[in-house]
A and B are shown apart, each in its own frame.
Chain A
Amino acid sequence: MKAVIRQQIKARYKIFLGNLILLSTVSLSVLVSGNANALFGGGSRSLLTYWLQIAFVAIYMGIPIYCLASLIKLIKSMVFQDTKYLLLSLPRRSYSIFGGTFLTVLLEFALYAVCMFFWLSLIAAVPGGTKDYFFAVLKTGSFLGNLKAIYYFIFIKRFSALIQIVTIMLIYGTYVAMVFNFSFSLFAALFKHKKFPKILTIVFIYFVFDISVRSLLALSSIGRASIWVPAGITGLLAIGFFVGTCYLFEKKIEG
């Protein structure tokens, strides 16, 4: 798996660095231009503020969307392009190839999340503005005091909540990614040498999610079960879809 991860990092690092530079440039511009509060609706507004607001929203929403898109179409390039002949002739098992690729994108996502959190914490720590009314933690009146309060609140006071949120996001994110990847593999295996049936795949994915959501809601309502019961079942389903994707990739895509 190490070789897969190394190759994936090599293939992705330029886009990763580009996104990071973009993220840091926009965030730094917000900070040094004195627009940190204006971003949240307070302070004075100028043309620069509007541009920064647009750039800020675009980059902070765009990166998670890019990551999710990368995760859900991981297998697409492996099953619908001629590169599958190279991947299938490697002396590696499919779980190593697909799993390694998935882990690399997940790692990339985690690094983006850390950087986004870092910049957001700096922007949020700037004293003044309407955000102070919403976040009780930002009432020290100084930048460093606010920053310290944010980090204390998240990493000490609410650390277990942070771990729970990250775990839940990881489970449900992985589940969504695996449903898509399994669907692509399934339809690539079923419709070999034919045009990829996009509509059929979308319908299949819709039904999988519909059934999942209904089942999990029903499960949650029974005796007010802990969030970990549906999360655990979702995690197991994600593993099932991962195994299914690997099996289809190794045994059925080319026959």
Chain B
Amino acid sequence: MKNLLEVQNLTKKYGSKIAVDDVSFTLEQGKILGLLGPNGSGKTTLLKVLAGIQHPNAGTAHILGNSIGVETKGQTAFLSDVNPLFTSMKVDDAIDFYADFFTDFDKVKCDELLDFMKLSKNHRIKAMSKGMIEKLNLSLIFARRARLFLLDEPLGGVDPVARERIVTTIIKTYSEDSSIIISSHLVHDVENTFDEVLMLHEGKIILSGDAEDLRSSHGLSINDLFVKTFQELL
């Protein structure tokens, strides 16, 4: 299958600190990649570079053959680990905002997702809980027909019911055309969605491969493998 994302020798530094260290990997169309690692391992930085928010110090990243820039921002949907929406907005305003800026945004799909997430369009963002905001951001992201979805801690700080809805949305949104990268600490909740896994430690890749192959070769679930790998390292 065609590679949607190609990352080669990518390095990102903050001053003298290396956040992402010479990372290379590819991601095929239609695949879901689990990006795993403890805090400070470089997951968020890697996602921000792929989203075009940060710029690498060395190496390259290509999405559908285009190097990261304004064009790839139109093909990439980034779910940040913080709420990036203007708090003065209502849900309706946020939908209009996305529809204005992203040509691939589908309002009908967004309505369906909001219904599924049990969110009202009249809610004011500043009055919404963390879980509701997470679900809203996820609905906005997945209402886009983007080619690459970058989800940074999509389950962070939400209750188990909301988590289940979010995971269901991720699975429902899966299509052969697009790929998803999910960064999460809550490996157990999302591991069944992974086709591939990439574990980062201090910015370097320490383990990567097909999720099923890793399960069978180590005789462990991805969650147990994650715990075992980082227990040895930390």
Q: Which residues of A contact B (CB under 8 A)?
A: 3, 6-7, 10-11, 82-86, 88-93, 192, 251, 254-255
Total B residues in contact with A, Cβ cutoff 8 Å: 28
Q: How far does the Cβ of B117 sit from chain A's closest Cβ, in whole Å?
A: 19
Q: Which residues of B contact A (CB under 8 A)?
A: 12, 14, 48, 51-55, 70-71, 73-74, 76, 78, 80, 82-86, 88-89, 93, 96-97, 100-102
Which chain B residue shows the least CB distance to A255?
B54
Known: A10-B96, A82-B82. A89 touches B14 (CB 8 A): no
Choice from A7, A85, A89, A90 contacting B82 with Cβ under 8 Å: A85
The interface residues of chain A, by DSSP majority, are classed as helix
A250 and B73 alpha carbons, distance in the complex (Å)? 13
Residues of the B chain whose Cβ atoms lie less than 8 Å from the Cβ of A11: 86, 88-89, 93
Residues of the B chain whose Cβ atoms lie less than 8 Å from the Cβ of A82: 80, 82-84
A92 and B70 alpha carbons, distance in the complex (Å)? 6
A232 and B97 alpha carbons, distance in the complex (Å)? 37
- A88 and B55 form a contact (CB under 8 A): no
Choice from B53, B89, B96, B101 contacting A254 with Cβ under 8 Å: B53
Which chain A residue shows the least CB distance to B19?
A255
Residues of the B chain whose Cβ atoms lie less than 8 Å from the Cβ of A3: 100-101
- A88 and B85 form a contact (CB under 8 A): no
Known: A82-B80, A90-B101. A254 touches B70 (CB 8 A): no
Known: A3-B100, A6-B100, A254-B53. A91 touches B71 (CB 8 A): yes
Name the residue among A10, A86, A90, A92 with the largest chain B CB count within 10 angstroms.
Answer: A86
- In the complex, the 7 A-B pairs of residues with the closest C-beta atoms, listed nearest first: A86-B84, A91-B74, A85-B84, A91-B73, A3-B100, A82-B82, A85-B80
- B73 and A83 form a contact (CB under 8 A): no
Residues of the B chain whose Cβ atoms lie less than 8 Å from the Cβ of A254: 48, 53-54
- B54 and A86 form a contact (CB under 8 A): no
- B85 and A83 form a contact (CB under 8 A): yes
Q: How far does the Cβ of A90 sit from chain B's closest Cβ, in whole Å?
A: 5
- A89 and B86 form a contact (CB under 8 A): no
A83 and B54 alpha carbons, distance in the complex (Å)? 15
Residues of the A chain whose Cβ atoms lie less than 8 Å from the Cβ of B88: 11
Residues of the B chain whose Cβ atoms lie less than 8 Å from the Cβ of A93: 70
Known: A3-B100, A82-B83, A192-B14. 19 other contacts (CB 8 A): A7-B96, A7-B101, A11-B88, A82-B82, A83-B84, A83-B85, A83-B86, A84-B84, A88-B52, A88-B53, A89-B73, A91-B70, A91-B73, A91-B102, A92-B101, A93-B70, A251-B55, A254-B48, A255-B55
